[in-house]
Structure 1
Amino acid sequence: MTSSMSEGPQVLQSKSPGDEPNDHSVGIPQEVAPGVFFLKGGTRYFEEGTKTGPAGAVRSLMCNNGWIDLGDEVLLIDSNMPSRTDALLSAVRDTVGEKPIKYVVNTHHHGDHVYGNRRIRERTGAAIIACREMVDELRRFETAAFGGPPGRWEQVATLRPDLADTSLLPPTLVYGDRLELIGRDRRVELLHHGWGHTRGDTIVWLPAERVMFAGDLVANGPYNIVRDGEMREWPKFLAFMEELRPSIVCPGHGERAGPEILTSQRGFFLSLWAQVESRVRDGITLDTLLGDIEMIRAALLADPAAAEHVIPHDADLAVMSLNAQVERVFRQIVQE
């Protein structure tokens, strides 16, 4: 069960035959505070994985978006995938009119949050903002954008025509740990607080409205991909977010929620770490540990503080599995 706020508009489902995974509609924005909007992306990638075939899995990946009416201009949170650019910009116009999009914030370097950068900048002229560590991550993983061989997402462009038709645009405005953007109507803070989901996570915080856009530091449901995460430090970032005392939390994937989602997400990672650490102390090997995966899953599902973030059954994606989460924790423990 996922955390949620009170009932609100739901994202429209694809009307194409068989609910094709390459549907590019964006659904219905939710106004979570005056002038502040959240748009939930689909989660089929996480739930079905390669059941739709390798191309179907890759084509179905998308993230949540948000945007903030600053008064005279708009801040957009994450650029999503190129196939969604036109519909996303249309949704923004439908809610705030023809106000220009001045900023696009990339919450981290993963492809579903950044590969729309170029098309959105071409259409709007917006500055693309990220923290310094996020750009370092792009250099590490999306190497073709910096003159190197094809990187992580560049290698799957053959499975996504929208990626093949464009190229990654890195951020054009880089900040350190904090950046304040002040518009006529409201103030927004961009905050980086160390290594969590990635080395370069940004949260978007509206202190007056108490609304937080969390990127993939938070997923409302069993949607956590941890391959670039620091599993001991991630809960500390979440604790920092809790200390801000948001009323509404908009995650990178899944439905919007209240502050309880920060607590449950942190509880999941702490419980996962404890399950692995207790076995490592007994001298267990990785192969034996992975052989215990269903026991670990059962223990996590039995923990009320963790259960809603536990992958109930693996989606046939190596990166999206409890095995991958357990292995990430194991490797970080043995390296300490």
Structure 2
Amino acid sequence: MTPKTFASTGDLGEKTITFAELGRGAYAFTAEGDPNTGVIVGDTGVMVIDTQATPLMAQKVIAEIRKVTDKPITHILMTHYHAVRVLGAAAYEAHTVIASKRTHEMIVERGQQDWESEFGRFPRLFQGHETIKSLTWPTVVFDGKITVDLGNQRVEIWNPGRGHTQGDTIAWLPDQKILYAGDLVEYGATPYTGDAHLRDWPHTLQALRDLKPAKLVPGRGDALHSPEQCDEAMAGTQAFLTDLFETAQQGVKEGKDLQQIYRMAREKMDPKYGHWVIYDHCMPFDVARAVDEAQGLDRPNIWTAERDKEIWAMAEA
């Protein structure tokens, strides 16, 4: 059921990059289901939303930015803390790196372990890993909501609630109703829930649906250019999370062990979601977290390279 190749170590194919324009000064860097990067251009500077995994890989984003503007890159926003999203930050030389207070807590608590875990799972996404000199630390830490003025471009930044992690942060362009959702929303790609809060996540998504975005950049998948597509992506993410957590709750109630619940989840979810990007990669880790939360563990266990292998072995057995 789960491929013998660990996680995504066998995924070596290059992806086609798209740099899509969503509106005035609003862009999305996407690559066929690989992690997305958002770009917002104002009169005085540029904000980059999630930086790619390494300074070397960030150069691909910078090359696309330079095709549309020569303004300085002044701000970086971390939508959350996962190494694949943030360790390329040094390449941009931005003076302002923004993260929520809860994201900062995660860096302190598990930043190094997360880097080692993710590198082991998906080495292709860490091309030029030797260019990573340190963890990425924010220079601005906020709680709740802040607004950044990029010059004729107002960006609202807020932590709408726990979901993909405890610190998920979105960027919202109210004048154009464009939403940069990070990994709170996926489109045609499997939500990773290893650090998630599964009871909260669907409610957090509802807060985003209430914004009624006209366009949306998900964490993975194509940029979305209509209200209907935006709502489809948010509803689809909600449905996946609901199926996952309800299965875990049922299995725990019935006294089943992790492997049995994993089989239950695959049987129920494969027909609906098995074609989504990184589905086989995510499911062992997703189910492990869902079972932990169903058993009452509110704060996710820290993922280490060793724990990754243990969970993968469970899924293969």
TM-score for both structures, normalised by structure 2: 0.79
Identity of aligned residues (%): 24
Per the alignment, in what secondary structure is the counterpart of residue 148 of structure 2?
Answer: strand
- 22, 28, 38: which one pairs with 2:28? 38
- Contact kept in structure 2, 1:188 and 1:204, CA below 8 Å: yes
Given candidates 197, 207, 211, the residue that maps to 1:230 is 197
Query: Is the 2:163–2:204 contact (alpha carbons within 8 Å) kept by the matching residues of 1?
Result: yes
2:231 aligns with 259
Hey, which bits of structure 1, 4+ residues long, moved more than 4 A?
A: 154-161, 312-317
Partner of 1:15: none
Contact 2:147/2:157, CA 8 A, preserved across alignment? yes
Cα-Cα RMSD: 2.6
Q: Which residue of 1 aligns with 2:8?
A: none
TM-score (norm 1): 0.74
Deviation of residue 188 (structure 1)? 0.8
Which one has more relative contact order, counting CA pairs under 8 Å at least 6 apart? 2
Question: Does the 8 A contact of 1:297 with 1:322 survive in 2?
Answer: no
Amino acid at match of 2:170: I
Structure 1: stretches of 5+ with no match in the other structure: 1-18, 44-61, 144-150, 302-306
C-alpha offsets along residues 140-197 of structure 1, whole Å, 9 cap, x if unaligned? 2224xxxxxxx33147769656222322231111111111012332211111023210
Once the two structures are TM-superposed, the CA of residue 132 in structure 1 deviates from its matched residue by: 1.1
Corresponding residue pairs, total: 276
SS at match of 1:328: helix
Residues 274, 42 of structure 1: alpha-carbon distance in 2 compared, 3 angstrom cutoff: same
- What is the identity, as a one-letter code, of the residue corresponding to 2:62? L
Matched, 1:80 2:43: no
Query: How far apart in 1 are the matches of 2:127 and 2:19?
Result: 26
Greater Cα shift, 214-223 or 200-209 = 214-223
| Greater Cα offset, 229-238 or 263-272 | 263-272
Q: Does 1:28 align with 2:4?
A: no
- Equivalent runs, 1:180-199 vs 2, <5 Å: 180-199=147-166
Distance verdict in 2 for CA 1:332–1:30, change over 3 Å:
same
Q: Deviations over 1:70-125 (max 9, x none)?
A: 22211111111222222211211111x2111111111111111101111212xxx3
Aligned position for 2:86: 114
* Equivalent of 2:262 in 274, 290, 293: 290
Report the equivalent of 2:296: 335
Secondary structure of 1:87's match?
helix
The reply to whether residue 137 of structure 1 matches residue 109 of structure 2 is no
